[in-house]
């Protein structure tokens, strides 16, 4: 929730709103933000692009809510809403599409924006946010007060995937007895029996207004504000949160010259999630990297007793990897968890599991979804220029020594890919783009790497995160697991329901060539979107369990 001018200046209805959300949702982090707070939650480049001082305050609030939901997921509430029951008691049943808003406040608007809920990686929020960004380029005024509602309607009209997601969203009317227009005369009158303070409203959220500067203590407005405040009129200090922890997030990029685009996106996801729920977050990154709300540190200088937990994010955990083993040894005395990691089988000589708790995508007691798919700030996609040539991107892993030379059939995989390219070139104009996922070797920013994926019509990859990057950009892919018998690529992608995932030991080059040519003609967008939805859902389950674990940690850090 947001009051741009600062909560000390907020009117009574906003104070009652904040108190109601705190009171009914003790297990949620309520972020009551003002304009200066946004620097802790949004990247500098985003704030500069938004330029909220140059557009009307109501429009700035609309843009900010979309940016925050895009980056963090969660729930946005206007500071004129009153919560009447816990979110956990009703909201999960409404999240079939990963998004929820109250339906049809008027016949000409599809949804209300005073309450929005979204899982991390929501397609609806991503596309809506991108449309809002485009809308305000070169503008300082809107052309219609309901501009943000009109953008939503336009996305529904032109984007079949957007429309399908909204149609999947359960409909709960925004028009009810506790939804009041900005200047409703009923709010200034005494309450009827239906609105007594001891009557629990049937709707989970009330919508009031901040435009009534003066109202009598016996009015309906005052009555509903008292309901919002509850028995305890004084707000608890927002800083006093018993669930707040100091957490260090490490990754392969903690070591100079290491890290891939998939590692980085996983770091961004986990860091944003921890910041969003209110933890103090440090991130161990060797290169210069600014993550909103988190502080970059050199992990070697961190006293293990000064943090409540260390999370290692993404990648294989290997016994003979000297840098990771040094890091794990340094923090052996604190709580150590792995998120989105792969563990080799226990009988493998390179097996290692240094974690107290592991949210492993592979090799753990429970399989968790990889979190890179829901990283914030994806490249704006799907607006590819019309062109005569087809573009195929190659994201190939090359040799993988951790599996042994006998099992790693990378040369055979690349031969199959070359056969596909030869046939595609015979079928018409073709451009091939080689994509390097390793951040140092690529020598370009992470967003530029993803933009390469987004510029392609088809991706051929032997990398797991090559397939994830393709899905993030809405590009069809053929993934080949180059490890004999199958390993990470097949193991993690096959369950998503996308049929173009193969083991090299079972791959038929002629069939793969046929599939590639077919996907260049028909990208099977619906099927790809379904696979992406499952990956997003699995990633959100990982983050939910990670949140519960972090909140359960004993608080050991030194303030």
The whole-number pLDDT of residue 237 equals 43
- Average pLDDT for 540-556: 92
The whole-number pLDDT of residue 159 equals 95
The whole-number pLDDT of residue 243 equals 76
Q: Indicate whether 378 pLDDT > 70.
A: no
CA geometry: angle 420, 517, 380, nearest 5 deg: 100
At 455, the pLDDT band (50, 70, 90 cuts) reads very high
- Percentage of the chain lying above the pLDDT 90 cut: 82
Report pLDDT digits (tens) over 162-210.
Answer: 999 999 999 999 999 999 988 899 999 998 877 776 677 899 999 999 9
272 to 35, 63, 267, 269, 547: CA distances (angstroms):
19, 19, 8, 5, 12
Identify each DSSP E strand in 71-190 by its residue range: 74-77, 81-83, 99-106, 109-118
DSSP β-ladder status, 109-118 and 99-106: antiparallel
- 211-215, 220-224, 540-544: least confident range: 211-215
Q: Indicate whether 443 pLDDT > 50.
A: yes
The whole-number pLDDT of residue 283 equals 98
Which residues does 136 contact at the CB level (< 8 Å), separation at least 6?
A: 50, 55, 59, 63
Cα 351 from chain centroid (whole Å)? 31
Q: Indicate whether 366 pLDDT > 50.
A: yes
- Answer yes or no: is 451 within a domain: yes
Which residues does 359 contact at the CB level (< 8 Å), separation at least 6?
A: 337, 338, 339, 340, 341, 368, 542, 545, 546, 549
- 59-68, 115-124, 379-388, 421-430: least confident range: 379-388
My answer on whether 351 and 422 are in the same domain is no
The DSSP string of 265-284 is: HHHHHHHHHHHHTT-EEEEE
- Answer yes or no: is 540 within a domain: no
Q: Indicate whether 232 pLDDT > 60.
A: no
List the CATH number of the domain containing 173. Answer: 3.90.550
Q: Residue 163: beta bridge partners?
A: none
Q: Residue 115: beta bridge partners?
A: 77
Q: Indicate whether 470 pLDDT > 70.
A: yes
| Nearest alpha carbon to residue 461 among 391, 372, 369, 397 | 397
The whole-number pLDDT of residue 45 equals 86
Would you say 291 and 249 are in contact if contact means Cβ atoms under 8 Å apart? no
My answer on whether 351 and 394 are in the same domain is no
For the four alpha carbons of 311, 315, 316 and 318, in that order, the dihedral sign comes to negative
- The token duo for 353 is 């599991």
- Answer yes or no: is 109 within a domain: yes
| Nearest alpha carbon to residue 344 among 322, 324, 316 | 316
- Answer yes or no: is 156 within a domain: yes
Q: Indicate whether 380 pLDDT > 60.
A: no
Would you say 184 and 210 are in contact if contact means Cβ atoms under 8 Å apart? no
The whole-number pLDDT of residue 239 equals 42
The whole-number pLDDT of residue 238 equals 40
My answer on whether 349 and 286 are in the same domain is yes
DSSP β-ladder status, 390-395 and 430-434: parallel
| Nearest alpha carbon to residue 169 among 223, 233, 104 | 104
At 212, the pLDDT band (50, 70, 90 cuts) reads confident
Which residues does 443 contact at the CB level (< 8 Å), separation at least 6?
A: none
Q: Indicate whether 140 pLDDT > 60.
A: yes
- DSSP label at residue 405: T
Report pLDDT digits (tens) over 507-542.
Answer: 999 999 999 999 999 999 999 999 999 999 999 999
The whole-number pLDDT of residue 387 equals 81
The whole-number pLDDT of residue 198 equals 66
Q: How far apart are CA 357 and CA 363, in angstroms?
A: 13
- 48-52, 226-230, 496-500: least confident range: 48-52
My answer on whether 303 and 264 are in the same domain is yes
Would you say 249 and 282 are in contact if contact means Cβ atoms under 8 Å apart? yes
Q: Indicate whether 2 pLDDT > 90.
A: yes
For residue 106, give its domain range: 7-229
- The token duo for 169 is 């969203």
- 25-29, 425-429, 511-515, 551-555: least confident range: 551-555
- Residue 358, classified by CB atoms within 10 Å of its CB into exposed (0-12), middle (13-18) or buried (19+), is buried
Place of tokens 């968790």: 368
Mean pLDDT estimate for the chain: 92
My answer on whether 406 and 491 are in the same domain is yes
CA geometry: angle 166, 169, 174, nearest 5 deg: 95
Q: Where are the alpha helices (DSSP H) in 207-321?
A: 220-229, 261-276
The whole-number pLDDT of residue 342 equals 95
| Nearest alpha carbon to residue 253 among 242, 243, 266 | 266
My answer on whether 83 and 131 are in the same domain is yes
Biggest CA pair distance of the chain: 82
My answer on whether 299 and 166 are in the same domain is no
- Answer yes or no: is 380 within a domain: no
Q: Residue 336: beta bridge partners?
A: 310
My answer on whether 303 and 441 are in the same domain is no
The whole-number pLDDT of residue 102 equals 97
Q: Indicate whether 94 pLDDT > 50.
A: yes
My answer on whether 369 and 268 are in the same domain is yes
At 383, the pLDDT band (50, 70, 90 cuts) reads low
- 118-122, 141-145, 383-387: least confident range: 383-387
My answer on whether 371 and 394 are in the same domain is no
Which residues does 140 contact at the CB level (< 8 Å), separation at least 6?
A: 54, 55
Q: Indicate whether 382 pLDDT > 60.
A: no
How many domains does one find in the chain? 3
The whole-number pLDDT of residue 66 equals 97
- Residue 154, classified by CB atoms within 10 Å of its CB into exposed (0-12), middle (13-18) or buried (19+), is middle
My answer on whether 371 and 437 are in the same domain is no
Q: Indicate whether 543 pLDDT > 90.
A: yes
My answer on whether 218 and 265 are in the same domain is no
CA-CA-CA-CA dihedral for 197, 198, 201, 205, to nearest 10 = 60
The whole-number pLDDT of residue 308 equals 96
Report pLDDT digits (tens) over 294-350.
Answer: 999 999 999 999 999 999 999 999 998 999 999 999 999 999 999 999 999 999 889
The whole-number pLDDT of residue 557 equals 46
Identify each DSSP E strand in 60-194 by its residue range: 74-77, 81-83, 99-106, 109-118
Place of tokens 């016949």: 107
- 26-30, 368-372, 537-541: least confident range: 26-30
The whole-number pLDDT of residue 240 equals 42
Phi, psi (degrees; rounded to nearest 5) at 99: -150, 145
Q: Indicate whether 231 pLDDT > 70.
A: no
């Amino acid at each position: 929730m947001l009051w741009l001018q600062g909560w000390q200046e907020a009117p009574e209805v906003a104070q009652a709103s904040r108190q109601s959300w705190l009171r009914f949702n003790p297990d949620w982090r309520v972020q009551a933000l003002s304009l200066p707070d946004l620097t802790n939650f949004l990247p500098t480049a985003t704030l500069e692009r938004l330029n909220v001082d140059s557009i009307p305050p109501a429009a700035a609030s609309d843009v900010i809510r979309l940016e925050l939901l895009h980056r963090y997921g969660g729930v946005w509430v206007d500071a004129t809403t009153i919560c009447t029951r816990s979110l956990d008691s009703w909201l999960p049943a409404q999240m079939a599409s990963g998004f929820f808003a109250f339906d049809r406040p008027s016949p000409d608007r599809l949804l209300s924006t005073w309450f929005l809920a979204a899982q991390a990686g929501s397609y609806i929020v991503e596309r809506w946010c991108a449309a809002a960004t485009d809308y305000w380029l070169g503008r300082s005024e809107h052309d219609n007060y309901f501009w943000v509602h009109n953008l939503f309607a336009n996305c529904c009209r032109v984007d079949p995937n957007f429309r399908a997601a909204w149609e999947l969203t359960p409909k709960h009317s925004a028009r009810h007895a506790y939804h009041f227009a900005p200047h409703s005369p009923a709010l200034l009158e005494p309450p009827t029996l239906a609105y007594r303070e001891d009557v629990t409203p049937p709707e989970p959220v009330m919508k009031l207004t901040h435009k009534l500067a003066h109202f009598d203590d016996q009015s309906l407005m005052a009555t509903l504000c008292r309901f919002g405040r509850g028995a305890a009129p004084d707000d608890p200090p927002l800083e006093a949160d018993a669930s707040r922890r100091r957490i260090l997030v490490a990754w392969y990029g903690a070591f100079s010259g290491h890290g891939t685009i998939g590692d980085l996106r996983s770091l961004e996801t986990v860091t944003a999630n921890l910041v969003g729920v209110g933890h103090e977050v440090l991130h161990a990154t060797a290169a210069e990297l600014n993550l909103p709300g988190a502080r970059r540190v050199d992990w070697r200088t961190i006293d293990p007793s000064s943090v409540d937990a260390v999370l290692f994010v993404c990648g294989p955990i290997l016994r003979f990897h000297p840098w990771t083993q040094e890091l794990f040894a340094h923090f052996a005395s604190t709580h150590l968890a792995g998120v989105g990691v792969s563990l080799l089988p226990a009988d493998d000589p390179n097996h290692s599991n240094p974690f107290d708790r592991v949210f492993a995508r592979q090799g753990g007691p429970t399989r968790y979804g990889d979190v890179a798919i829901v990283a914030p700030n994806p490249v704006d996609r799907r607006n590819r220029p019309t062109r005569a040539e087809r573009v195929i991107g190659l994201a190939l892993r090359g040799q993988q020594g951790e599996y042994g030379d006998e099992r790693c059939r990378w040369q055979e995989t690349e031969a199959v890919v070359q056969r596909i390219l030869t046939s595609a070139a015979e079928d018409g104009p073709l451009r091939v783009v080689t994509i390097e996922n390793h951040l140092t070797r690529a020598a370009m920013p992470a967003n530029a790497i993803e933009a390469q994926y987004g510029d392609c019509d088809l991706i051929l990859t032997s990398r797991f995160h090559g397939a994830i990057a393709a899905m993030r950009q809405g590009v069809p892919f053929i993934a080949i697991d180059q490890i004999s018998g199958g390993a990470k690529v097949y193991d993690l992608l096959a369950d998503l329901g996308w049929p173009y995932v193969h083991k090299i030991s079972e791959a038929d080059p002629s069939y793969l060539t046929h599939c590639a040519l077919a996907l260049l003609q028909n990208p099977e967008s619906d099927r790809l979107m379904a696979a992406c939805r499952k990956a997003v859902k699995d990633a959100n389950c990982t983050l939910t369990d990670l949140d519960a674990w972090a909140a359960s940690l004993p608080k050991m850090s030194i303030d």
